[in-house]
Structure formats: structure tokens, C-alpha cells
Structure 1
Amino acid sequence: MRLALIIAVLLTLVAAPARATDPAYIVIDVGRGVVLNHHDANQLWPPASITKLMTAYLTFKAMQAGQLRPTSPVVVTANAVAEPPSKMGYRSGTIVTVDNALKMLIVRSANDIAVALGETVAGSEANFVAMMNQEARRLGMNATRFANPNGLPASGQVTTARDLAVLGRAVWMDFPQYREYFRISAIRAGRKILRSHNTLLERYRGTNGMKTGFICASGFNVVATATRRGRTLMVVVLGETSAADRAETAAGLLNGGFRGLLSGVIGQKLATFQTQPAPGSAVNLRKEICETKRARKAKLGRSALDPKFVLMEPVRVFTGKADPLPPKGQAGRPAVNIPLPRLRPPYPDSAALSNGITVQ
């Protein structure tokens, strides 16, 4: 029976022709903070939009400290407007709330909003990048260097699958009150419905979301968590060749973790696992991902993904309706107890995580 399960898990992973660089991945038990399995988890890699997990983390930290609250204003500056897509595309001077900015950041992966949030938290993009790197060092992300708040290509901006697992776990453990943001599968901005690139949100039961990323140099990346029978696992996959393969690989690894079929470094603490990067430069998959015509991967056996299910209606986001801007030179307004929107209908397998908050 165990052999059959192992074969079943392997068949859920994607069969692929030989390639110059195989995807890197790591699977961890979030609650225990231990590594279940990995491949090249210390290989340097461009983080792409998974960078926005750190942007969200520092925003959550500012909210928890009382520097910001959900209704605090985020001004879209000319510097933010200049960022390339994906973006919300607002004009310079547009104001959104921190709450709406976080939804746009996480679901739309909006590069302009990432910069605007960074400027709101730290006063300038440069100050925010310095905060990102300071926080990365504090968390033990020893191989990671950030150069911007959104993950767009930048010299020296690198990370590893292991470091992203450290960051993802910190987001999950340090700010449980904000986990619901990552479960939103779509937002509605005016007449537009903008859907998350995280296929797992509507194709993997028990998923809690997190963040995807893509640039040519990095390939298709994802940090994803899922909870089943009270146990939460996290997978980081870097360098897949398509969004579909990224989701399939992540789901297969999660299945293996939940079924107890992953082995190799079981029980080793994430905090002490591969704390230094592998020697050499960061992976650059531009030629392979964006400049080479590839045949689609053939799938073996049954998909690790579930049939698509309907999670929720898109969550509305809007401009304006923020607190008044504080006087020039004054810090953000004091925090008050404003509830975070909760998804509706209830998310599968999430009853134990509900904190009784309601949808706006």
C-alpha cells in the first residue's frame, strides 16, 4: 500500500524532458518549523513577485505596531505610477486604503501598489528597501537581497527556496490576523475582475494561498500553504516552465507531505537548514523560459489538482474613502480595532482558522 501511494504521488508530479536547470523546491511543516523535503533549496534565484511577501510582511508589522491601520491612506505617487505591469494603473495622486492596497498587492500582484505601500510604510522606496533587507537579516534569510518592493528584475536581487520558506512561515506565524488576505481569489475594481495567478486557490482543497511570481530569469514561482486535518504545510517551487506546471508541482508536493511520503531531511529545523547559499551566481532562465519555444510537458497519471471549485465572489476594491491624510511630516494616525474582511462563503477546511470577522 505504501509503495502504491509513493507511485501515485510521483505520478502527480510532472514528467519533463531534460532541462538545464530543474525547479528548486522545499516542503516544510509550518507548525513544527521542520523541513520535509527539498531540491536545490539553497540555489540562488531571482524572487520575482514573491518579493511582495516581504512588502506585505512589513505592512502588517506597521499595522500591528499602530503606525498604520486598514483605513490609512496610501498615495500612488509618480514614482509608483512609473512601474511597469502588472499594475493597477491609477494616476499619480490617487489614494487607496491600506486594506485595499494589500488586496491589490496580493491578488493583482500590482507593482505600482507595492511601491506605494513601501513609500507609505517607510517614507521612500529606498528607505523601504533598506527595511526589507534589515528584516531579511533579522529573520535569518542569509542568502536574500532585495532591491525593490515588487520583485521586478534588478541587479543583485536574489533569494533561495529555503529563505522564501522562512519568510512565508514568518508571515503565517507572526500575523495570523491577516491570513485571510492571501485566500482572496479575485478582486473587483470598477467593472474589472482581476483574478489571482495562484491556481491552487480554486484547485487544491485546504489551500490558504500565499504568493506567485514570474519574470523570465526566474521562471514560474510560488509559495503556497495548505491546511488539512489541522496540519499546515508550505511548499516553495521556483523555476517551473509554466503557471500550470507550477501549480501541478506544488500540489503534488503538498500531497506527498500530507500523506507522509516525503523523506530525506525529515525533522531538520528550517532555521538551521542550509542557512548559506550554494556557491555560484543566481539562476537565469530567460533563454529557456522566454526565448526558446518549448513543447508542453506531458502529464503522467492523475492530476494532483482538484476539479475547479468556486471559492467566493470577487472582493471589491476601490479608491478614496481613506482616513484624511495626516499633516505633512506627521506619522500615520493611531491604530484602532477595525476588523479585517473575511471571505464568504467559508473557505474549505478553514473553520478552525476563523476569527469571527465579517466582510466589508
Structure 2
Amino acid sequence: MSVFRCPFRRTRVVLSAFVLLCTAAVGLAVAQSPAPAPGRPAALSDSLPVPPPPRIAGKAWLLMDYATGRILAGENVDMRVEPASITKVMTSYVVAAEMQAGKIKPTDPVLMSEHAWRTGGAGTEGSYSGFEVNKTAPLVEMEKGMVVQSGNDAAIALAEHIAGSEEAFAALMNAYAKRIGMRNSHFVNPHGLPAEDHYSTARDLALLGRALIRDFPEAYSYNKIKEFTVGPITQRNRNLLLWRDPSVDGIKTGHTASAGYCLMASARRGDMRLISVVMGSTSESQRAADSQALLNWGFRFFETHRLYAANQPIARQKVWKGAADEVELGVAEPLLVTIPRGQYPRLKPTMDVPKALVAPIAKGQKIGTVKVSLDGKVIAERPLVAVRAVEEGGFFKRLWDEFWMWWEAD
């Protein structure tokens, strides 16, 4: 049972899980997923330890929860690897970001220059889109040629259109990578053909995939297109999981002799999305099988819960000198956690707020912190913000509260 302390004391208030969860007792509005009902047949299975992840035939691999960014399993996640054509996900991110900034448009005519055609076109050993040399195509079509067909020529053409050269575009790639939080990556070209000082890690690539899905869903949607036609040439998306698993909606394959077979995949089942990264696999079929196994393992043994909705009250706190006596507190963005199945009843949310709040308080102003723990370990932490503004009270209200604040002062 929680202990309620007098709001006039100069103390920090920590509300227990019971206070946050038992809304009827204290009048709090808490948006949470219900705990699994006790006694269901699945409960016995869910109480067992999570088994090890499947064995993966790759140099580096991981499985990431999209909602929280938590790595559920992995090996050599920070080892430098050649990203191969998964590089093009970074190119897609830059294209989408520059478009959002108004610097380019989907209808822009993009030239397939002779340099792009010779370096990444049909005369090379890499994949190409088939756009004609010295002719233009709408930017969005060129982008789909890069994403679906993995066209190196299209990637170069986009880089030249946006930044003038591959080198200048690579500078943009690295700047955006830093903003995303990719700490162990460096790009020197937009397509991923082997080059000195062109590298990434499984962790960074998962962060990149997560950022593209979150920030630019339309650009991400191109990755689920199964085939694309340029002129007389129709090419299939090389991500085999698009045909095997309806929950998979992306994201990108890669292969060179030195990088091996690579695949970053993402799938959504219900409210849960996972991102898998397999680098340096032994074959096209093996990278697909391993990615599928990772996704299946994650969805079977973990679950995502939406604990609090955005901008909805989850608690109220005393306010001095305000037109209202209390401020409603909530989170600015939905708070989700991904945990092993069957562990929901063991979650413990706590709230830490300042000892005294004085009006005025603006809507969205940070007030404190809400933390969610599992078995004593904090697994989620978000700022508490004012759901609604509290204006300053009238003269006599402020004078009265000033007296009581002085009276209660230590």
C-alpha cells in the first residue's frame, strides 16, 4: 500500500506501482495494456525462461525491438562490417530528409549521367536499374530503381542530383548518420560497393532502419515493393522474406564477395515491430532463413505493451499560486516496453516529481520523470510533462499560498 505524503512538505514524491496502476483508488487516468489473465493455458509456457536465439551463420547479427530500440539478441553487434547495398538505406534516408526540407521534389528530373551509368550500370558486376544514359527520370522512379532493384547506377544518379557528386553526398550521409546516432559508421559512396573507409556495424544499421521507418514511412514503404520495371526490364526485390512472411515489409539486402550475403529485415505483427540484421552470411537462402528464424523467435518470446498514451493524464500534482490547485501529468509520446512474455504483472512504474510546483506552468513543460522497472532494473524512462497549462492565480490566491509555503518551510 502506498504512503501518501502531505503535499505541503518539501519532499520528493515517489508514487509506487500500486498508485499508478490502481486508478480507481486515487483517481489517476493511466492508459495501460491489461495484464495477462491468470490461469490461462499460455501462462504456464510464458513463465519459462526465454530460450537462446537461433544459431546464425553470419559474421555479425542482431534482433532489435523497434519500439524501444532494445537489442533482444545479437553477436558482434559493434564489429565493423561492409554494409554492401544496405548502404542504400542511408541513401534513402538522405533523399527523404532533403525532400522533407524542401530542397528536392519527387517530380525532379534526375539525370542518369555517364559517370553513374559506367560506374554502376549494366557494364559492372553489381546490380543496376536500367535507366538510359544521359536521359532523365522522375526522382521517385529513380529512387524505386535504387530501392527495389538495388540499382547502383540509380544511387549515383540520386547522389549527383542532390549534392553534385558522390563525395559531397557522402558528407551528407555521414552528417545524417551522426544525427541518427550511428557512432561506428562511415560512408564514402551512396551504393555500397567495396571502398576503403566505408563501413558500419549491425547495431548502427538497425538504428538506421529504425530511423527510416520512424521518420519517413513513405520512403520506407518502397522497400516492400516486390518488383519494379524500368523500360523493358523487370527486376524482383531480392528480399525473399517479402514472399514468405506477410508481416515482413522491408527492408534491404546486400552482397559483395568481401561482404558476403547481408539482409536487414523488418516485420510487424500486431503492435510489435522487430528489426533483424544479418551480415556476412553464406548465401542468399541462408540470410533469409536466419532472418526469418530471428524474427519468429522474437515474436514468440517477447511482447510489446503500450503503458501510457501520449498527452493523457496519468497523475495529478499539487500546484501553488495557480488558477487550478493541481496539474495533470502525462508523457509527450506513447510509452511502450518490450519484455519477455508473461512478465507484464511484474512491471513496477514509479514517478519522481519536484517537491513544489509554482504556477504558471506551460502545457508540455517538463515536471518530473516516470520510470518502469522489471525485476529491479529500469527498462523505460520518460519525462513527465504538463498535459494542460496552469495559469497564475489571482492576487489573493497567490498571497494565501505564499503564506502557507512560508508556514510549511523548514
Say yes or no: TM over 0.5.
yes
Q: What's 2:254 paired with?
A: 213
Q: Distance in 2 between matches of 1:137 and 1:176?
A: 20
Q: Distance in 2 between matches of 1:242 and 1:261?
A: 28
The 5-angstrom pairing of residues 1-360 of structure 1 reads 1=45, 10=54, 22-83=58-119, 84=124, 85-260=126-301
Unpaired runs of at least 5, structure 1: 17-21, 263-360
**Which piece of structure 1 moves more, 86-95 or 249-258?**
86-95
The answer (yes or no) to whether the contact 2:130–2:231 under 8 Å persists in 1 is no
The answer (yes or no) to whether the contact 2:224–2:251 under 8 Å persists in 1 is yes
| Matched letter for residue 218 of structure 1 | A
Q: Distance in 1 between matches of 2:216 and 2:210?
A: 10
| Matched letter for residue 232 of structure 1 | R
Alignment deviations for residues 215-243 of structure 1 (CA, whole Å, 9 cap, x no partner)? 11111111111000121110011011001
| Matched letter for residue 126 of structure 1 | E
| Matched letter for residue 80 of structure 2 | L
SS at structure 1 position matched to 2:148: helix
Higher strand share: 2
CA gap of 1:74–1:122, structure 2 versus 1, over 3 A, is same
The answer (yes or no) to whether the contact 1:209–1:226 under 8 Å persists in 2 is yes
- 1:2 CA displacement: 6.1
The answer (yes or no) to whether the contact 1:220–1:239 under 8 Å persists in 2 is yes
SS at structure 2 position matched to 1:256: helix
The answer (yes or no) to whether the contact 1:9–1:255 under 8 Å persists in 2 is no
Q: Distance in 1 between matches of 2:118 and 2:195?
A: 15
**Which piece of structure 1 moves more, 237-246 or 175-184?**
175-184
- 1:91 CA displacement: 3.7
- 1:65 CA displacement: 1.2
- Give me the identity figure in percent: 38
The answer (yes or no) to whether the contact 1:221–1:237 under 8 Å persists in 2 is yes
The answer (yes or no) to whether the contact 2:89–2:208 under 8 Å persists in 1 is yes
**Which piece of structure 1 moves more, 191-200 or 103-112?**
191-200
Q: Distance in 2 between matches of 1:76 and 1:200?
A: 31
SS at structure 2 position matched to 1:135: helix
The answer (yes or no) to whether the contact 1:128–1:149 under 8 Å persists in 2 is yes
Q: Distance in 2 between matches of 1:175 and 1:255?
A: 26
Count of matched residue pairs: 254
CA gap of 1:185–1:5, structure 2 versus 1, over 3 A, is farther
Alignment deviations for residues 287-338 of structure 1 (CA, whole Å, 9 cap, x no partner)? xxxxxxxxxxxxxxxxxxxxxxxxxxxxxxxxxxxxxxxxxxxxxxxxxxxx
SS at structure 2 position matched to 1:250: helix
- 1:95 CA displacement: 0.4
Q: Distance in 2 between matches of 1:148 and 1:248?
A: 29
- 1:200 CA displacement: 0.7
CA gap of 1:158–1:9, structure 2 versus 1, over 3 A, is closer
Q: Distance in 1 between matches of 2:146 and 2:197?
A: 23
Q: Which has the higher contact order (CA 8 A, sep 6+)?
A: 1
**Which piece of structure 1 moves more, 176-185 or 230-239?**
176-185
- 1:3 CA displacement: 10
Alignment root-mean-square deviation, CA? 2.2
TM-score (norm 1): 0.67
| Matched letter for residue 51 of structure 1 | T
Alignment deviations for residues 74-133 of structure 1 (CA, whole Å, 9 cap, x no partner)? 111111012233112444311011110111001110001100001111122111011111
Q: Distance in 1 between matches of 2:129 and 2:300?
A: 40
TM-score (norm 2): 0.59
| Matched letter for residue 164 of structure 2 | G
